[in-house]
Chains A and B, each alone.
Chain A
């Protein structure tokens, strides 16, 4: 859990960026996909309704020309005197019958020849005399026909041409048909002398519009009572569908170009055209779902946009990962730097931006380092000159005291001792006046210490004995001047206030590639916080115990310096740690320029 949180924390930037990208890419592509589909649907519906309106008009024209030819035929039949005579005449002989049958057929043949379509023509006269132009289409008998409802209807409306639907099976050999009926009436007496039937099989009626239909784009004819009398989908033929009629009427009355409606359980586009003469509505139903699915491949569009989204996501993932990764790495490096090492430059890698930032950061670091170096150099210089001044400042009291001692020795006639003392003072002074950076060999230092000890013993007597133990392999090493002397001085003047006698041991040896000098006294010991000397008068130079440590660190770095340990009543132990310096390394001091050198290897702009 913690791990997860830390992962999230570390990838915070990436997660944020990536989430924003993902959400925007997905929403953009979704919006585009949907609007594309919607737009193409709308466009399609527009054009579809336009073309289908035209198609409906063409179908309508076909029906109108059909109904016109029915009207013309019925008028011609009614006006045909031969037909009328033959239908009404009583036959007395076979010859008469034969003649009249022949003439009626002949007349009908003439009228029928004009008929442009598949319609049949039947004339029924009294005595069930039936003349059928195409008995193959409808082999009906006069007996059946005279009692059929379509004849009764025609009888009730003798002046009207009625279009009546006869469903398959009744008397039509299983093929549904629409029959135009007209009672043939005598003008003067309104007496009905026969019936004209112009049946057209639903199959042939379908030919009027069948070419315009396709799957999902169907046409049906609905008559005034809501019965579907013809359809390219045969299962609808003969069904009663008042809803469809109502929709058709509504569309027609409101002069809508089309109407969207749920018909037969499907969302359909409904176009209609009325045929008032036939009391029919031509209804065109377009199954939206089916047709649109055929036209607009929604699946494909969705697939394409999904693929694009996925690709974009992969690309976004990789790119943002690259960007954020390098930035996170940078951040990590920088935050670690505060903990560990300021001088280490950050790695310049990753994207362009990250590299620029790293570069700028490194540049800044470099500058800062340089600045710090300059500052430190100045500081060191200042300190050095301070120390130098202190070193050069040979305590007049020391000289005064020493010279007083010499004077007393001379006065006492201790010529030898006086000579020795002066002899010791001379190199001591010589040494003190040199450069603060200058080193001397351990041998020389030992001599100096001896001289100093001699002078002090001359003055204060030899109750404090000084032994020096110097490892011979160290004699040729160099060390800075006035490093050991202040501690001996300190031991002389402060370690033996209670104890009046004691020893001061000086040990110089090489240990772990370092030069270790130890000054051990057997004096009173002290509290470490009270090292500072009080009686300035006794000091040889301005260099005190305290600034020895400072000076060593200034010269050689933090690995070196002075360690003091003390125990009350038992004595004090001073350990001076110095590098092993050869003569040719006289002036080497630890430099911090190295950082700067390393930095300048990097960028070059």
Chain B
């Protein structure tokens, strides 16, 4: 009996030992997996979404270098369309998970986000002085007197033109400075006649030129409130449409159907002028064989009261989302884009981006003469024009209205009366946006 007990204890000791060993074997698997799931209150790393590695992402990287704060900035590249759809899905579901701290939004879309999800954005009035920025940038980036966006680049427009072609037709820089669109069309006809070159390349699906025209007169597709469709009785818009049709009828428009064809139209030397935002400069300079053949004049204006020879096309601003780390993000933006003049000089030199921070325009880099454009002080000129850009409220529905207008434009070109076209567009837009 005694021995039996002894054996039993042996057995149980053995079993115990075996279990211990087995348990030790299998316990390596766990652990190590429980590290995530801890979103710190105030992360050391802030993330930013932007879309152009050569432009706005490069600008953020430059900002990161000039910033002294102890913050790690992680810039993530996303296509602009993706940013828009991600923001829409994320913000409309009410969850801020996976959202960045800083996001770049095009000015013409900004209001739709700010008005739809005001809670999702963090006002940055405490971090910047809005008056330091070009006034036209403030309307689209603010809401209810709160500044949400930090104005980044300007879309200030200019009339890029081939000096050689225009000279051939007998025009100089002076003849193109501070002209109206009517004068532009006349010049275009002369150019076409003498050189055989088209004056301009346009994508019939994109009414960018119309927008440039109407903003120079301080008008938009919507009224000053930004909410009511303003087509019928919109005098600048009417003038713009008339000018557009006049260009078509003058037969100096080269049609393009996408961006690459647009670029090709001037890189190949097929068109004489490119009225566009200043950002097109980089694409023009890409064709090195045309160095010295280009110059930039102020954008033509509509022939009406209050119209100026300055407008805007495109341009975007940074927004801080209301997620943990927002203060750090706002601080980062405030101390770089918000007040650092040095940094703006770097931005011009390294990235070629013209900011809308007015104190920076006195800097040295802004005075640089551009050899490609025949020694013109391009950036200085642009920053001068920036100050003249009339401020407009883009409202929330720029692109939806434009689709309707593009269709009506076709009808108008085919002979529909402008009154009818506008009336139809107004009705359709109101129906659609209600």
| Chain A residues within 8 Å of B, Cβ to Cβ | 91, 93-95, 97-106, 129-132, 135-136, 139-142, 300, 303-304, 307-308, 311, 315, 351-352
B204 contacts A140, C-beta separation under 8 Å: no
A307 contacts B21, C-beta separation under 8 Å: yes
Instruction: Considering the complex, give the chain B residue whose CB is closest to the CB of A100.
Output: B255
8 A Cβ contacts from B213-270 to A: 247-261, 264
Are A97 and B10 also in contact (CB < 8 A) when A102-B410, A136-B79, A304-B25 are? no
A95 contacts B248, C-beta separation under 8 Å: yes
| Chain B residues within 8 Å of A, Cβ to Cβ | 3, 10, 14, 17-18, 21-22, 25-26, 79, 81, 198, 202-205, 247-261, 264, 406-407, 410, 413-414
A99 contacts B414, C-beta separation under 8 Å: yes
In the A-B complex, the 10 residue pairs with the smallest Cβ-Cβ separation, listed nearest first, are: A94-B253, A97-B255, A102-B204, A135-B258, A139-B260, A98-B204, A101-B255, A95-B248, A307-B21, A132-B258
Choice from A98, A104, A139 contacting B248 with Cβ under 8 Å: A98
A95 contacts B203, C-beta separation under 8 Å: no
Cα–Cα, bound, A533→B249 (Å) = 177
A315 contacts B10, C-beta separation under 8 Å: yes
Choice from A99, A311, A352 contacting B410 with Cβ under 8 Å: A99
A sample of 19 more A-B contacts (CB under 8 A), given A94-B249, A139-B258, A315-B14, is A91-B255, A94-B247, A94-B253, A97-B255, A98-B202, A98-B204, A98-B248, A100-B255, A101-B204, A103-B410, A104-B257, A129-B257, A131-B258, A136-B79, A136-B81, A304-B21, A311-B14, A315-B10, A351-B3
B257 contacts A98, C-beta separation under 8 Å: no
A135 contacts B260, C-beta separation under 8 Å: yes
Query: A57 to chain B: closest CB distance in Å?
Result: 31
Q: Which residues of B contact A352 (CB under 8 A)?
A: 3
Are A97 and B253 also in contact (CB < 8 A) when A136-B79, A307-B21, A308-B18 are? yes
Cα–Cα, bound, A506→B262 (Å) = 159
Instruction: Considering the complex, give the chain A residue whose CB is closest to the CB of B255.
Output: A97
Q: Which residues of B contact A100 (CB under 8 A)?
A: 255
B204 contacts A105, C-beta separation under 8 Å: yes
Choice from A98, A132, A308, A315 contacting B253 with Cβ under 8 Å: A98
Instruction: Considering the complex, give the chain A residue whose CB is closest to the CB of B247.
Output: A94
A129, A136, A308: most-surrounded residue (chain B CB, <10 A): A136
Choice from A102, A130, A351 contacting B205 with Cβ under 8 Å: A102
B203 contacts A140, C-beta separation under 8 Å: no
B258 contacts A304, C-beta separation under 8 Å: no
Instruction: Considering the complex, give the chain B residue whose CB is closest to the CB of A108.
Output: B257
Cα–Cα, bound, A351→B255 (Å) = 107
Q: Which residues of A contact B203 (CB under 8 A)?
A: 101
B259 contacts A300, C-beta separation under 8 Å: no
29 contacts between A and B (CB under 8 A): A94-B198, A94-B248, A94-B251, A94-B252, A95-B249, A97-B255, A98-B248, A98-B255, A98-B410, A99-B410, A99-B413, A99-B414, A101-B203, A101-B204, A101-B205, A104-B257, A105-B205, A129-B257, A130-B257, A130-B261, A132-B260, A139-B260, A141-B264, A304-B25, A307-B21, A307-B25, A308-B18, A311-B14, A351-B3
Instruction: Considering the complex, give the chain B residue whose CB is closest to the CB of A144.
Output: B260
Query: A226 to chain B: closest CB distance in Å?
Result: 33
Query: A420 to chain B: closest CB distance in Å?
Result: 81
A94, A103, A132: most-surrounded residue (chain B CB, <10 A): A94
Cα–Cα, bound, A352→B1 (Å) = 11
Cα–Cα, bound, A141→B265 (Å) = 11
A97, A311, A352: most-surrounded residue (chain B CB, <10 A): A97
Instruction: Considering the complex, give the chain A residue whose CB is closest to the CB of B18.
Output: A311
